[in-house]
Amino acid sequence: MTSLDLYYDFGSPNAYLAREAFKQMQSRIDLTLNEKPVLIGGIFKATNNMPPWQAHANCPPKMDYMRLEIQRFVTDHKLSKFRFNRHFPVNTLLAMRAATAAVEAGVHEQFVGPVFKAMWEDSLDISDPEVLAKVLNDAGIDGEKLVAATQDPAIKQKLMDATQAVVDRGAFGLPTFYLGDDMYFGKDRVWMIEKKLSV
């Protein structure tokens, strides 16, 4: 079985789209996703990068094209549940710390899908502790416990360490994927990964 490291932050619509495409790919290819929470803001700061919506804010044609490209990906992969979050940009620090706590608690696999859904299908504000806790409770996870864990200094440090580790690995934005030591960046590289695994 092939293992793919998928680094994500809930604030990235492209991370959601790539994740959904990889889930579809799993029906065609024997593929395990290792989903790893990191903080996109920390990556940008460490690499002198910035989010596309900020970098290209003064170039309307570029912004229009990025929206078109997202819609093409949505159409090609039949991701009809995708909705651009009405609260965007959302501060995801709370959710990413909660994801880190979920990893430590052994419930990350049950955690990640419902939170991505809340962000990019249900258009919820996951920066609100009560909203996030309800999303997790509805998924059968102790939301209050994980939200409380976001204030644990050890959890905060683990998220910072994970973010630095992926920067050290070469990442400059999200979503970033690794097949072994080979790095791929962005949802537009999903097809490259499938092509490589199909050989």
Distance of CA 116 to the CA centre of its chain: 7
Q: Give me the CATH topology for the region 2-198.
A: Glutaredoxin (3.40.30)
CA Rg value for the chain: 16
Domain limits of the chain? 2-198
Distances (CA, A) of 69 to 46, 65, 93, 140, 188: 27, 6, 27, 35, 9
Distances (CA, A) of 59 to 11, 56, 62, 66: 22, 5, 5, 11
Distance of CA 131 to the CA centre of its chain: 18
The answer to whether 35 touches 100, Cβ cutoff 8 Å, is: no
Q: What share of the chain is helix, strand, coil (3-state, %, to 5)?
A: 55, 10, 30
Say what percent of the chain tops pLDDT 70: 100
Reported as a single tens digit per residue, the pLDDT across 60-101 is: 999 999 999 999 999 999 999 999 999 999 999 999 999 999
Quick one: pLDDT at residue 199? 77
pLDDT band, residue 52 (cuts 50/70/90): confident
Quote the mean pLDDT of the chain.
96
pLDDT band, residue 187 (cuts 50/70/90): very high
In 3D space, the residue among 159, 154, 157, 124 whose CA is nearest the CA of residue 139 turns out to be: 124
pLDDT band, residue 56 (cuts 50/70/90): confident
